[in-house]
Amino acid sequence: MRQLLILCAAMLFFTPALAIDSEAPFQDPVLETRYEDLTHDFRCLVCQNETVADSDADLAADFRRQIHGMVAAGKSDAEIRAYMVARYGDFVLYKPPVQTNTWLLWGGPFLFLVVGLGVAIQVLRRRAAADAGHGAP
Protein backbone atom coordinates (compact mmCIF):
# COMPACT_ATOMS: atom_id res chain seq x y z
CA MET A 1 0.00 0.00 0.00
CA ARG A 2 2.75 2.35 1.04
CA GLN A 3 4.67 1.57 -2.15
CA LEU A 4 1.57 2.18 -4.19
CA LEU A 5 1.15 5.58 -2.54
CA ILE A 6 4.77 6.46 -3.25
CA LEU A 7 4.28 5.39 -6.87
CA CYS A 8 1.16 7.53 -7.16
CA ALA A 9 2.96 10.46 -5.57
CA ALA A 10 5.88 9.98 -7.95
CA MET A 11 3.49 10.12 -10.91
CA LEU A 12 2.57 13.66 -9.95
CA PHE A 13 6.06 14.71 -10.97
CA PHE A 14 6.00 13.17 -14.43
CA THR A 15 6.24 15.62 -17.30
CA PRO A 16 5.48 14.79 -20.89
CA ALA A 17 8.52 13.89 -22.98
CA LEU A 18 9.40 16.89 -25.07
CA ALA A 19 10.88 16.66 -28.54
CA ILE A 20 14.62 17.09 -28.24
CA ASP A 21 16.26 19.26 -30.83
CA SER A 22 19.88 19.99 -31.42
CA GLU A 23 19.39 23.76 -31.45
CA ALA A 24 20.27 25.64 -28.30
CA PRO A 25 17.41 27.80 -27.03
CA PHE A 26 17.65 31.49 -27.81
CA GLN A 27 19.35 33.57 -25.13
CA ASP A 28 16.90 36.37 -25.84
CA PRO A 29 13.54 35.41 -24.25
CA VAL A 30 11.67 37.46 -26.86
CA LEU A 31 13.16 35.39 -29.70
CA GLU A 32 12.57 32.16 -27.79
CA THR A 33 8.89 33.04 -27.27
CA ARG A 34 8.53 33.94 -30.94
CA TYR A 35 10.15 30.66 -31.95
CA GLU A 36 7.89 28.69 -29.59
CA ASP A 37 4.78 30.49 -30.85
CA LEU A 38 5.75 29.94 -34.48
CA THR A 39 6.26 26.21 -34.02
CA HIS A 40 2.68 26.05 -32.74
CA ASP A 41 1.43 27.82 -35.87
CA PHE A 42 2.51 25.16 -38.37
CA ARG A 43 1.20 21.72 -39.10
CA CYS A 44 3.45 18.72 -39.35
CA LEU A 45 2.50 17.25 -42.73
CA VAL A 46 3.42 13.71 -41.67
CA CYS A 47 1.15 13.46 -38.62
CA GLN A 48 -1.30 16.03 -39.81
CA ASN A 49 -3.21 16.73 -36.63
CA GLU A 50 -0.13 17.75 -34.71
CA THR A 51 1.64 21.05 -34.74
CA VAL A 52 5.31 21.28 -35.57
CA ALA A 53 5.91 21.99 -31.89
CA ASP A 54 4.15 18.82 -30.71
CA SER A 55 5.16 16.33 -33.36
CA ASP A 56 7.92 13.77 -32.94
CA ALA A 57 8.19 13.22 -36.68
CA ASP A 58 11.52 13.81 -38.39
CA LEU A 59 9.94 16.34 -40.69
CA ALA A 60 8.71 18.39 -37.72
CA ALA A 61 12.25 18.46 -36.34
CA ASP A 62 13.45 19.72 -39.73
CA PHE A 63 10.71 22.36 -39.74
CA ARG A 64 11.74 23.46 -36.26
CA ARG A 65 15.34 23.74 -37.40
CA GLN A 66 14.28 25.85 -40.39
CA ILE A 67 12.10 28.10 -38.22
CA HIS A 68 14.85 28.41 -35.63
CA GLY A 69 17.31 29.42 -38.34
CA MET A 70 14.94 32.00 -39.80
CA VAL A 71 14.18 33.52 -36.39
CA ALA A 72 17.92 33.68 -35.70
CA ALA A 73 18.44 35.32 -39.09
CA GLY A 74 16.05 38.10 -38.07
CA LYS A 75 13.13 37.16 -40.32
CA SER A 76 9.72 38.44 -39.30
CA ASP A 77 6.82 36.13 -38.43
CA ALA A 78 5.09 37.13 -41.67
CA GLU A 79 8.20 36.26 -43.70
CA ILE A 80 8.51 32.88 -42.01
CA ARG A 81 4.83 32.14 -42.63
CA ALA A 82 5.20 33.16 -46.27
CA TYR A 83 8.25 30.91 -46.61
CA MET A 84 6.38 27.86 -45.32
CA VAL A 85 3.19 28.57 -47.29
CA ALA A 86 5.17 29.08 -50.51
CA ARG A 87 6.55 25.54 -50.15
CA TYR A 88 3.75 23.60 -48.49
CA GLY A 89 0.59 25.59 -49.19
CA ASP A 90 -2.04 26.93 -46.79
CA PHE A 91 -2.45 23.47 -45.26
CA VAL A 92 0.85 23.93 -43.41
CA LEU A 93 -0.81 26.65 -41.34
CA TYR A 94 -2.41 24.99 -38.33
CA LYS A 95 -5.08 27.69 -38.24
CA PRO A 96 -6.54 28.12 -41.72
CA PRO A 97 -6.41 31.69 -43.02
CA VAL A 98 -9.68 33.53 -43.66
CA GLN A 99 -9.91 33.80 -47.43
CA THR A 100 -12.35 33.08 -50.26
CA ASN A 101 -11.93 29.30 -50.20
CA THR A 102 -12.34 29.07 -46.42
CA TRP A 103 -15.32 31.40 -45.86
CA LEU A 104 -17.67 28.45 -45.39
CA LEU A 105 -15.31 26.96 -42.81
CA TRP A 106 -15.18 30.17 -40.80
CA GLY A 107 -18.70 31.40 -41.57
CA GLY A 108 -20.41 27.99 -41.36
CA PRO A 109 -21.06 28.05 -37.60
CA PHE A 110 -22.62 31.51 -37.83
CA LEU A 111 -24.66 30.39 -40.81
CA PHE A 112 -26.00 27.46 -38.77
CA LEU A 113 -26.68 29.80 -35.86
CA VAL A 114 -28.75 32.14 -38.05
CA VAL A 115 -30.66 29.25 -39.65
CA GLY A 116 -31.25 27.68 -36.22
CA LEU A 117 -32.49 30.95 -34.75
CA GLY A 118 -34.76 31.45 -37.73
CA VAL A 119 -36.31 27.99 -37.30
CA ALA A 120 -36.63 28.48 -33.53
CA ILE A 121 -38.38 31.85 -33.94
CA GLN A 122 -40.77 30.39 -36.50
CA VAL A 123 -41.63 27.43 -34.26
CA LEU A 124 -42.13 29.66 -31.22
CA ARG A 125 -44.35 32.05 -33.18
CA ARG A 126 -46.46 29.21 -34.51
CA ARG A 127 -46.83 27.77 -31.02
CA ALA A 128 -47.78 31.18 -29.64
CA ALA A 129 -50.36 31.57 -32.40
CA ALA A 130 -51.76 28.09 -31.70
CA ASP A 131 -51.93 28.85 -27.99
CA ALA A 132 -53.73 32.13 -28.69
CA GLY A 133 -56.20 30.26 -30.91
CA HIS A 134 -57.01 27.78 -28.14
CA GLY A 135 -57.42 30.47 -25.58
CA ALA A 136 -56.08 30.19 -22.05
CA PRO A 137 -55.28 26.62 -20.90
Partner 1 sequence: MGRYLKFALPVVVLLALIGLFAKGLFINPTIVASPLIDKPAPAFSLPGLKDPKQALTQATFHGQVYLLNVWGSWCVACRDEHPALMQFAAEHVLPIYGLDYKDERSAAEDMLAKQGDPYTTIAYDASGDVGINWGVYGAPETFLVDKQGVIRHKYIGPLSESIIRDDLMPRIRALEAERP
| Residue number with CB closer to partner 1 (33 or 48) | 48
Residues contacting residue 72 through CB under 8 Å, at least 6 positions apart: 26, 31
Q: Which of 45, 50, 81, 93 binds partner 1 (CB under 8 A)?
A: 45
In 3D space, the residue among 136, 48, 31 whose CA is nearest the CA of residue 92 turns out to be 48
Which range binds partner 1 by CB under 8 A, 31-39, 72-80, 83-91, 122-130? 83-91
Measuring CA to CA, how many Å separate 124 from each of 68, 83, 114, 115, 131? 57, 53, 15, 14, 10
Query: Is residue 86 a contact point for partner 1 (CB under 8 A)?
Result: yes
Query: Is residue 114 involved in binding partner 1 (CB under 8 A)?
Result: no
**β-sheet bridge partners, residue 43:** 51
Closest approach of partner 1 to the CB of residue 61, in Å: 9
Chosen residue from 54, 66, 75, 81 binding partner 1 by CB under 8 A: 66
72 contacts partner 1 (rule: CB under 8 A): no
Question: Residue 32: left (phi > 0), alpha (psi -120 to 50), or beta?
Answer: alpha
Q: Per rule CB under 8 A, is residue 59 in the interface with partner 1? A: yes
- Please select the residue that binds partner 1; options are 35, 63, 80, 94, rule is CB under 8 A: 63
What values do phi and psi take at 20, rounded to 5?
A: -100, 120
Q: Which chain residues interact with partner 1 by CB under 8 A? A: 45-46, 48, 58-59, 62-63, 66, 85-89, 91
